[in-house]
Amino acid sequence: MTSLVELMDYDEVIEKYDPVLGLEVHVELHTNTKMFCGCANEFGGEPNTHTCPTCLGLPGSLPVVNGKAVESAIRIGLALNCEIAEWCRFARKNYFYPDMPKNFQTSQYDEPIAFNGWLDVTLDDGEVIRVEIERAHMEEDTGKSLHVGGATGRIHGAEHSLLDYNRAGVPLIEIVTKMIPGTKERAPEVARAYVTALRDLLKALDVSDVRMDQGSLRCDANVSLSPKTTGALGTRTETKNVNSLRSVERAVRFEMTRQAAVLESGGEVIQETRHFDESSGSTSSGRKKETAEDYRYFPEPDLVPIAPSREWVEELRGTLPELPWERRARIQKEWNLTDEVLRDLVNANALDLIEATVVAGAKPDEARSWWVSYLAQQANTRGVELTDLPITPAQVARVIELVNTGALTNKLAREAVNGVLEGEGSPDEVVEKRGLKVVSDDSALEKAVDEALAAQPDVAQKIRDGKVQAAGAIVGAVMKATKGQADAARVREIVLARCS
């Protein structure tokens, strides 16, 4: 199906067109209760167990706004440098869909709670792009439809559908960018970097789980192409179902090459919703908008307007945590990192881990060294994210401490870490169980050195002749003999003393 889609070579796309981006991100807040009722806001659960008359839209039921959700919305708005509305309302967005219990979504329309903001986004090479934020508004999530009996799990071809309203009424914040022009060949990267920056920001605010795989962070990517010859804005498509950061980048790139091919062949880009397919990396036509959707928005009469006092807004501003970019700037200064090193740490998702390790007592460069080399290697070998390794920053700090006090050599320390990763317990427990101990008894070491010298008389002679670098072979032999439990520096001292 998708193989029939013509695509233009990416370089050619960039030569002929300027891509224009627009990103809509939906964030599920992790409040205790839903947006308009007291039901638990939890991911999963037996179908239709987190429901009540209000989130089922039963006749006669009424919504009541979750104050915590409003608070989160304002904090998000402030962190995105938005203005916060002095007075705003909810509105009803009317359309029929079975997973929407009232057949209207309670949302905000022309009076969003936050508007006119920006977010600075750092690209992989360190370039910073300011993405302007149009608005952030509050709304409720829908339930979920499960289509049974079809091949694709989509509604087409299904025998019947099941509805689960556990998610219906979960608080959502929709964050919409203004048009992002001028990104040229970096458009896909900008899209990914923006969603990444937003995710980190929301995480720092502690307002959402921001799990793209569970749908608590969802991105719709709007893409259009503007021909360089005319500079006119093109028709945009909206790609949904973009469930990972990587997919954001792939989806934008695919749409650029697809739209360019359509335009090149004399066709017209159709304004439509498209569906991103993870496995093929392509988009396919979703709902055709044959007639313009008319949602018949009007102010929600069941809710009173929201008028956050300026005092409250300022109070909430005071609760904002150190935001990701502020934190990065501070860490760079404190640890004395170059731009490049900092970027690598950020890209490797190592910054949090290193900082936590430092907080647990390690020195920044020691902590950094462990996470970006040995532990990164281990994560890579195991095929997991660094953050998912079964070792805590505090445990890493403890290993570093053991090295610094001379209780472990670097080699022993790696073994201790391996033990922790294998689930053998804390570093101290692993040291105990595996009997990891530096051999510090000089007489034992002297004996081992003498044996090694005797085994390699030619090497011994070289050392005696002043070729100090030859000592390495003897040190290596001693380390092998002591199963690495000796302090190599001390061994070297003894070797040199014996041969002087």
Q: Does 94 bind another protein (CB under 8 A)?
A: yes
Q: Least Å distance between CB 239 and another protein? A: 25
Q: Does 98 bind another protein (CB under 8 A)?
A: yes
Q: Which is nearer to another protein, 37 or 173 (CB)?
A: 37
CA-nearest of 496, 490, 489 to 471 is 496
Q: Does 393 bind another protein (CB under 8 A)?
A: no
Q: Which is nearer to another protein, 39 or 350 (CB)?
A: 39
23 - beta bridge partners?
A: 221
Residue 16 vs residues 4, 13, 78, 224, 268: alpha-carbon distances, Å: 23, 5, 39, 13, 16
Q: Does 303 bind another protein (CB under 8 A)?
A: yes
- Distance, CA of 442 to CA of 468 (rounded, Å): 21
Q: Does 271 bind another protein (CB under 8 A)?
A: no
Q: Least Å distance between CB 240 and another protein? A: 20
DSSP 455: H
Q: Does 304 bind another protein (CB under 8 A)?
A: yes
Q: Does 146 bind another protein (CB under 8 A)?
A: no
Using CB under 8 A, which of 58, 148, 162, 468 touches another protein?
A: 58
Using CB under 8 A, which of 11, 96, 266, 381 touches another protein?
A: 96
Q: For tokens 């390794």, what's the residue? A: 389
Q: Which is nearer to another protein, 101 or 393 (CB)?
A: 101
Q: Does 294 bind another protein (CB under 8 A)?
A: yes
Q: Least Å distance between CB 277 and another protein? A: 24
What ranges make up the beta strands (E) of 88-197?
91-94, 104-107, 114-122, 128-140, 144-148, 160-164, 171-177
Q: What type of residue sits at position 28?
A: E
Give phi and psi for 414, each to the nearest 5: -60, -35
Residues 28-57 within binding reach of another protein (CB under 8 A) = 53, 56-57
- Distance, CA of 356 to CA of 20 (rounded, Å): 39
> From its phi and psi, is residue 184 left (phi > 0), alpha (psi between -120 and 50) or beta?
left
> Would you call 26 exposed, middle or buried from its count of C-beta atoms within 10 A (0-12, 13-18, 19+)?
middle
**Choices 8-16, 299-307, 324-332, 491-499 (CB under 8 A): range interacting with another protein:** 299-307
Q: Least Å distance between CB 59 and another protein? A: 4
**Choices 97-105, 186-194, 230-238, 377-385 (CB under 8 A): range interacting with another protein:** 97-105
**Choices 182-190, 280-288, 289-297, 344-352 (CB under 8 A): range interacting with another protein:** 289-297
CA-nearest of 172, 198, 205 to 75 is 205
Cβ atoms of residues 337 and 363 within 8 Å: no
Q: Could you give the maximum distance between any two Cα atoms of the chain, in Å?
A: 99
Binding site for another protein (CB under 8 A): 53, 56-65, 92, 94, 96, 98, 101-104, 161, 163, 292, 294, 296-298, 301-304
